Amino acid sequence: MRRIPLSKPFINGEVRQAVLDALDSGRFILGPQCIEFERELAGFARRKHAVLSSSWTAAVYLLHLAMGLRAGDEVIVPSHTAFPSIEPMLHCGARPVFVDIDDTYCIDPDLIEAAITPRTVGILPVHLYGHPADLDPIVAVARRRRLWVIEDCAQAHGARYKGRPVGSIGTAAAFSFYPSKNLTVLGDGGCIVTDDDAVAERVRMLRDHGRRSKYTHEVAGFNLRFNEIQAAAGRVGLRHLEQLNAGRRAAAARYRERLSGVVELPVQREWATHVYHMFVIRTPRRDALAKFLIERGIETGIHYPVPNHRQPAIAAILRNLPALPRTEQAVGEILSLPIHGQIALDEVDHVCDCIIEFIRRN
């Protein structure tokens, strides 16, 4: 049976050679590959600083600490996102305040103002599935109410909002390099980007045992460093990112061409440069369709079946269950189709043929 995976990391001869060179260098943690990767990531995001850490979650936890997030603070965030979007703030004792999504699956900016309380300190918009959140009205509210904005760019490497790269607009931003991401380091990894010198320096210290020099520890920090082998792989991936994102957009265009009028397709706003980390369709018969596809060797996903306001881990801190009708409906209908930077259009056609066959049968 022909098997089509949901995602596939970018690995070529150049990646393999870069990894071998890093192995042969004898440097393994926070060496020259990490330094250059941070410099290149900062340029990519149009920021002064990029600071690598062991995962997106670790990087954002350190960022929250560096920005002074405290117990009892509130952060406005969509419920429809991966749980790690809210995990770091929970570890700081802060409380997520959940807001519903718009038709792009990103946070609805029109609902943010009403969610602000005297405890609110920031907003964390998520550029979900590779489509940017509508940042201008979000940033306008934040400035008016003196809040920070941290962009969650974990699924949006290379996406643009009105011509500006995501990650360049908020107070700070964070990227993930997990194997399924548009830009991967073939394992866990993440970084924060910011223009704030003090915040960047604080995160650098905290990730490396709270020190500026080898044996002088200014604060109690953590061991959340990055390594040379993955940095070498990531540097190659960054050089190929534009081409890989073009491959994703070509696949998305074929999906749109073949599936128009068959299932509900993702929205793309005119101001957005979408990078299609996921191509997410909707159908009331989602579970039956997923079963039909996997029986034909086609892997799908649900991102995400349980919204965060209904996760057991945060039930104890919710005063009242928020009314999020768009989120509640979406999680029962969404289905992520196979897509990655090197997917062949004949593979996309095979997925479409199977979906059309399912719809005709049902």
What confidence tens digit (pLDDT) does each residue in 121-148 have?
A: 999 999 999 999 999 999 999 999 999 9
**DSSP 8-state assignment for residue 209:** T
- Give me the residues paired with residue 190 across strands: 53, 176
Report the top-level CATH class of 241-361. Answer: alpha beta
What confidence tens digit (pLDDT) does each residue in 80-133 have?
A: 999 999 999 999 999 999 999 999 999 999 999 999 999 999 999 999 999 999
Question: Is the separation of the CB atoms in 123 and 149 below 8 Å?
Answer: yes
Sequence-separated (6 or more) residues with CB below 8 Å from residue 263: 281, 282, 283, 355, 359
- 164/268 Cα distance (integer angstroms): 16
Give me the helices (H) in 67-166, please: 87-91, 112-115, 135-145
Q: What is the pLDDT of residue 109?
A: 98
Give me the helices (H) in 134-208, please: 135-145, 197-207
Whether omega before 304 lies within 30 degrees of 0, making that bond cis, reads yes
- CB burial class (10 A; 0-12, 13-18, 19+) of residue 8? middle
pLDDT interval class at 2 (50, 70, 90) = confident
Q: What is the pLDDT of residue 212?
A: 86
Q: Where are the domains of the chain?
A: 13-235, 241-361
Question: Is the separation of the CB atoms in 203 and 66 below 8 Å?
Answer: yes
What confidence tens digit (pLDDT) does each residue in 271-308 have?
A: 999 999 999 999 999 999 999 999 999 999 999 999 99
Specify the 3-state DSSP secondary structure of 187: coil
Question: Is the separation of the CB atoms in 123 and 140 below 8 Å?
Answer: no
The fold for domain 13-235 equals: Aspartate Aminotransferase; domain 2 (3.40.640)
Q: What is the pLDDT of residue 318?
A: 85
Q: What is the pLDDT of residue 110?
A: 98
